[in-house]
Structure 1
Amino acid sequence: MADHSAFLKFVHALGAAIDGPVTWWKEQVVDPHQKNYNWYHRKYRRVPTVDQCYTDDPVCIFEADMQFLRDKNVDSEIISILRGRYEQCVVYEGPDATKCASLWETYEQAAANWFCKYGDLGAHAKSYDAFMKQKHRLIWERRYGPVGTGMNPSNQEA
């Protein structure tokens, strides 16, 4: 038993000799001079939208397109999270899934809003395409009422 303990003491001493200076350097030199960043919450500054860009300013239009793609990805992830929460609620509640109705309504409203902005644009849509879709929807609503209610002849302009 004494030989075994002596061997373990040797192994621990060897480990401390190798690891000790490295640990000291990290704790005394590296950590105090290192800035702490929240890498998982990268914040981008908001850039001008495509309607605020000049037509001959490709850099501004590119930034607007990248902002549009970031917003689309964030909105898509929100939809995915809401759908996942609803599905987990249904699995957890089982036959009594009526308790999940508020989650379903929230998901449906978010999905409708997502489709209102990004739907039918295609896979490679740009911010200009979404802007034009919004413009056409607003013109439609001015002439015929809210989208989805049909063409109301009483609202049509002569």
Structure 2
Amino acid sequence: MPLPDGNNFIEKFAKSFYNLFDTPATIIKEKIVAPNQKTYPWYHQKFRRVPTIDQCYTDDPICVFEADMQYRRDRQVDSEILSILRQRFEDCVLYETPDHMEKCKHLLQQYEEGSTDWFTKYGDLGAYHDVKVAYMKQKHRMVWERRHGPVGSGMKEN
């Protein structure tokens, strides 16, 4: 006559021996490790947004450094987005070769608009620039537009 499950002495001993090691490890994992673990639902780390350079005090080097690092990350992201747009257009041209001018026109327009926006923000700054240089470029552009109208429209008459 077989014994019911759980009444066997060897099974009870093996289960209690297992629980002797498993229970503390499970408690530590559930109560300490899991609540303090940083989990991201994406594959890259998401940095918190910091004050921009125009919100920093002039004598606060930490704020300026954080704004510069955020600017560099943003520029890198914008450059990658532009690279993806360019790659999409090139892939479309390769795939639709005979009549790619009409089938890939919307991708070319997206890429040209993106590259224009990228150049407006980051172009003509030189190889070694920081957030202050980019901020001054933006400020000078805004002053120009206030005085002369949108860039590229010619100078307005006074």
Equivalent residue for 2:60, pick from 57, 62, 70: 57
Runs of 5+ in structure 1 lacking a partner?
1-24
Distance 2:55 2:112 in 1: 31
Distance 2:77 2:126 in 1: 17
Match of 1:108, as an amino acid?
Answer: E
Shift of 1:122: 1.1
Residue 124 (1) aligns with residue 146 (2): no
- RMSD after superposition: 2.2
The residue aligned with 1:143 is: 147
Runs of 5+ in structure 2 lacking a partner?
1-21
Question: What secondary structure does 2:127 align onto?
Answer: coil
Match of 1:82, as an amino acid?
Answer: L
Shift of 1:118: 0.4
Shift of 1:41: 2.5
TM-score by length of 2: 0.73
TM-score by length of 1: 0.73
Residue 48 (1) aligns with residue 51 (2): yes
Equivalent residue for 2:98, pick from 92, 95, 117: 95
Question: What secondary structure does 2:152 align onto?
Answer: coil
| Structure ranking higher in helix proportion | 1
Q: Percentage identity across aligned positions?
A: 59
Q: Cα–Cα, structure 1 residues 87 and 131, in superposed 2: closer, same or farther, change >3 Å? A: same
Runs of 4+ off more than 2 Å: 31-39
Match of 1:115, as an amino acid?
Answer: F
